[in-house]
Amino acid sequence: MTDIIYWNGSFVSEREARIEPADRGFTLGDGVFDTMLAIDGEPVWGPEHSERLKAHAKILKIAFTLDIEATATVLLEKNSFKKGRYAIRTTVTRGPGERGLAPPETQHPTIIMRASPAPEAGKTVSAAIARSVRRNEHSPLSRIKSLNYGDNLLALLEAKERGADEAIMLNTAGNVCCASASNIFIKERGKFFTPPLEDGLLNGISRAKFMAEHKAAEESISEERLRAADAVKLTNSILGTRQVSGFKA
Amino acid sequence: MTDIIYWNGSFVSEREARIEPADRGFTLGDGVFDTMLAIDGEPVWGPEHSERLKAHAKILKIAFTLDIEATATVLLEKNSFKKGRYAIRTTVTRGPGERGLAPPETQHPTIIMRASPAPEAGKTVSAAIARSVRRNEHSPLSRIKSLNYGDNLLALLEAKERGADEAIMLNTAGNVCCASASNIFIKERGKFFTPPLEDGLLNGISRAKFMAEHKAAEESISEERLRAADAVKLTNSILGTRQVSGFKA
């Protein structure tokens, strides 16, 4: 069975959907996305994901209309994904454009939503602190889920080469930022700390939930402090809260 | 007439070509590109573009086989683009992948080549120094033409809002880096200077040609020095050498 995806207003089999070669999401990373968990056919934290995706698109001045929760619910139904945990990825781009960086005057955003079985949540992982690349806290993109995931990908490739499951990224000032696809928390004498958004990290929805639940405080965190922490946790809507078992040299 | 494009080994009309929704170039910016000028059916600086695209793909560990010059020549023929200046854009991505950041074990790269009429070269432009975003010299991506053009796009959007034609970008250290789609040179008492690659800029092919022709020297350049320069030039393979007429406040 071919999976059904949502594609610019229709539900179609994935092989029928087509991204144009001139789509600026493909050519320039000109778009944003969201990854939302669904359990037993129901989106989790739907309103938060919906609001955030719109806010992130606004940073790139992309306007679009989509009821994420309702669309995700129909998508799951159409795929008969009734029981279990699924990851719903929504991608919104500025749509096709002529060559060059300047956006077209009239925008026809591309909207894609796919559902995939979610990987196991709450795993324990080993980590490596990425040396080949740092996150750019001097860019608004460091605080949104844009299609520009190249830096995080380089960090993850390096971590895998060094034998670790995950990469911890520092920002250009050398402070701890996040993992390649998670926010980060450290525990010191029973209290949790996480870096502030200004340090160049995504305003993760599970980060906000974890902060509220554990009364975590925002503070810039040095690499030394990370290594000395009593515990290190990574939060991600799909992967849940992962514990870091240790750091690769 | 629909334009003909090169798509994974075939020449097809553009509307027949299809990027899969799961292509990592589309979902994550996991790919690189090159933009090469062609004049009267002949690629310009073909070997340099070919070598650079392969080197840039290697940074992301993407391997592919393509004779850029020969393919571009056929592409121009098939489109009857016999006379005049055309821009040839080649995009190479890691190809489709499952959800998540980790690359698939077996890669099937996507390769697209399109030809478009080139805009007028050698224009004079006004510039604005971007305040909303800086380039990340702490990332290898700052030195390659990856699909992650979001930072440059934000800079250009800001410049246009401020009434300028182009954006000049600083790096995170505050030094002059490049324009949104060009390298930069300043002229002082008859001598040209350009920032070194380590400052976070693309190894532009027209930059290398301009350096050789004008015996330009590499030096980090402060914003003050940029503003005080006798002349400021922007180099780009397609747009040629553009003169900056002045800076918007």
pLDDT digits (tens, 9 = 90+) for B194-224: 999 999 999 999 999 999 999 999 999 999 9
CA-based nearest residue in chain A for residue B165: A102
pLDDT bin (cut points 50, 70, 90) of residue A191 is very high
B residues 183..222 contacting A (CB < 8 A): none
Mean pLDDT, rounded, for A221-235: 98
Mean pLDDT, rounded, for A127-133: 98
Q: Is B81 on the interface with A (CB under 8 A)?
A: no
pLDDT bin (cut points 50, 70, 90) of residue A249 is confident
Q: Is A107 on the interface with B (CB under 8 A)?
A: no
> Cα-atom radius of gyration of chain A, to the nearest Å?
19
pLDDT digits (tens, 9 = 90+) for B230-242: 999 999 999 999 9
Average confidence score pLDDT of chain A: 97
pLDDT digits (tens, 9 = 90+) for A40-49: 999 999 999 9
What share of chain B in percent tops pLDDT 90?
99
Q: Is B141 on the interface with A (CB under 8 A)?
A: yes
Our CA dihedral for A219, A220, A224, A225, rounded to 10 degrees, sits at 10
Chains A–B, number of C-beta pairs less than 8 Å apart = 180
Decide if A87 contacts B101 (C-beta within 8 A).
no
pLDDT 10s per residue in chain B (249 long)?
459 999 999 999 999 999 999 999 999 999 999 999 999 999 999 999 999 999 999 999 999 999 999 999 999 999 999 999 999 999 999 999 999 999 999 999 999 999 999 999 999 999 999 999 999 999 999 999 999 999 999 999 999 999 999 999 999 999 999 999 999 999 999 999 999 999 999 999 999 999 999 999 999 999 999 999 999 999 999 999 999 999 998
Tokens, residue B119 = 């805009």
ipTM over 0.95: yes
